[in-house]
Structure 1
């Protein structure tokens, strides 16, 4: 690992993006932090610096390609050639589809889907001439499986999945030295549940089991180091959801009809004073820094055995084969004692 890797992270002011920036900072990387929220960006830069990295704050709305492209140019000029670009930035609306306005749906799509497209375009424009670099798309189990109350977000994540698969095939066809990979996440304890526009009667929450953003960050860094794999799944719940959807999507529909509404809300009524970051950042000049973690620390898991197994699948397969061989030998010895 080179000492001064140059990394760009979108959505770096909070949640998973913030945790990813912190983790790259701990590697002494040069990290360009892209987000709208100036309070969050400033705090994230301080964390990267304290961790030993070199931060560069760039306020950006990823729905605007010109802003993203200018940010990429600035990152390259001030930090050096970009080695890794991590797309994380998103926004959403928690509401039944019938209660989402057309302009809100469009805004979610422009930030969450086109923001990834814009980031990937800006990154590839600078990586392809060097024939090296990695783009990591931070996805979700919802890239494969839509759930009620999150139609705009699910649609955007599905779009990212299709776009990334098509691009990956093109890069492989070209035998490019540039790689794209995707990390599919489970429910994560991020501030989104406190700042995303919500029309739910009760406070929104991640569907348990909930993981801390550092679990996601470790997976993203591993994907950046090993981008030849097309994607990584994080969390046993992600694996279970994707497998169930592949085998019995109709049954999963009916399961979500019964559980999908309550599982995404706490027992507490939604505060009428909750901010909404759809059009303006909640951590802007008149807001405050929300950090990497959301409001569910007491219920969140700090590790994922499944994620570890996914990162070390060759070792797991070897151990599984060894265990199987040992079991066969034990049975043979029991039948033919010495």
Structure 2
């Protein structure tokens, strides 16, 4: 039986061992989808694989550094051989440095760019190598509000996320030109309560934190799964802060420059002063063999939102539009009487 593009039997998630990738894996597993888990950390991969099995689905954990194209390509071949044709590929893996640009060493900036940007490029290339001959499949790029609005102390991450947007737009145009049924969409995220604030390289004087308001990873995961089902949309914006950030930067970018210069340092730090140059996962995973499983959630659950009304409305635009029309008709009827 011919499958349409929404049917997913085999999915690939990069950055699957923790954070948004881990939360996405859990949701996909609940749908009975076989999942290839790509990440560097063995402890996180093993724990994620066990969660997939517990949900009644089949995992294939593979240790992969997405910055290395050959490793990603080899993983793609193994996935097709062991799980079957890839229907969905989610590019979520990233790494970065919390520091000013001048405090970020050139080799660190390059490495963060290779993992975050080129990791997405490599994943997209391998996914297309398998999907285009079948003329079937969906690629979801995990973006950010920071893909449109850079903020201080995250120059490497912001630059990489900006690059992913331009790259994805170019690829989408090429697929449209070819008349391909392979779809590529993006999901742009707000600040999220993930373990990245515990394991990224940081030279901040205090503990790094997401800029409030903060959302739980499950909010991001729901949006990614929804995008996989409706990939004809170019992009999804998750959370009202993402909407306001992207639209605000279109209208008053200079004002945001000054606002972030004043507030961007303090809003990304919390707690008392701590020692500088703490270990990070830029060069090697902190959840390696025998290491700690960081899971999906970070340290900010007491301040995080588990739902986003804006994200729900974005995924259900027809329902929202119908509700607005009915409300408008109700107001008109009331005014007539």
TM-score normalised according to structure 1 size: 0.96
Change (3 A) 1:252 1:202: same
Matches within 5 A, 1:7-18: 7-18=11-22
Selected match of 1:70 from 74, 77, 80: 74
How many Å apart are 1:166 and its aligned residue?
1.0
How many Å apart are 1:270 and its aligned residue?
3.2
**Greater displacement, 114-123 / 49-58:** 49-58
Selected match of 1:109 from 110, 113, 126: 113
Change (3 A) 1:161 1:258: same
CA contact (8 A) 1:26 1:53 kept: yes
The CA distance in 1 between the partners of 2:167 and 2:311, in whole Å, is: 24
Determine helix, strand or coil for the equivalent of 1:58.
strand
The CA distance in 2 between the partners of 1:216 and 1:56, in whole Å, is: 22
1:93 is the counterpart of 2:93 = no
Selected match of 1:225 from 208, 224, 229: 229
The CA distance in 2 between the partners of 1:14 and 1:269, in whole Å, is: 26
CA contact (8 A) 1:9 1:31 kept: yes
Count of aligned positions: 333
Look up the match of 2:279.
275
Look up the match of 1:142.
146
How many Å apart are 1:170 and its aligned residue?
1.3
Matches within 5 A, 1:137-286: 137-271=141-275, 274-285=278-289
How many Å apart are 1:332 and its aligned residue?
2.6
Gaps of 5+ in 2: none
Gaps of 5+ in 1: 334-338
Selected match of 1:304 from 304, 308, 323: 308
Look up the match of 2:296.
292
Look up the match of 2:319.
315
The CA distance in 2 between the partners of 1:270 and 1:211, in whole Å, is: 25
How many Å apart are 1:287 and its aligned residue?
2.6
**Greater displacement, 37-46 / 277-286:** 277-286
Note the aligned Cα RMSD (angstroms): 1.4
The CA distance in 2 between the partners of 1:17 and 1:162, in whole Å, is: 22
Change (3 A) 1:14 1:229: same
Instruction: Kindly provide the CA deviation profile for residues 239-289 of structure 1, in whole angstroms up to 9, marking residues without a partner as x.
Output: 111111111111111111111000000022235584300000010125311
The CA distance in 1 between the partners of 2:215 and 2:272, in whole Å, is: 21
CA contact (8 A) 1:203 1:269 kept: yes
Matches within 5 A, 1:19-34: 19-34=23-38
The CA distance in 2 between the partners of 1:152 and 1:68, in whole Å, is: 22
CA contact (8 A) 1:91 1:196 kept: yes
How many Å apart are 1:321 and its aligned residue?
1.7
Look up the match of 1:130.
134
The CA distance in 2 between the partners of 1:187 and 1:20, in whole Å, is: 16
The CA distance in 2 between the partners of 1:265 and 1:89, in whole Å, is: 23
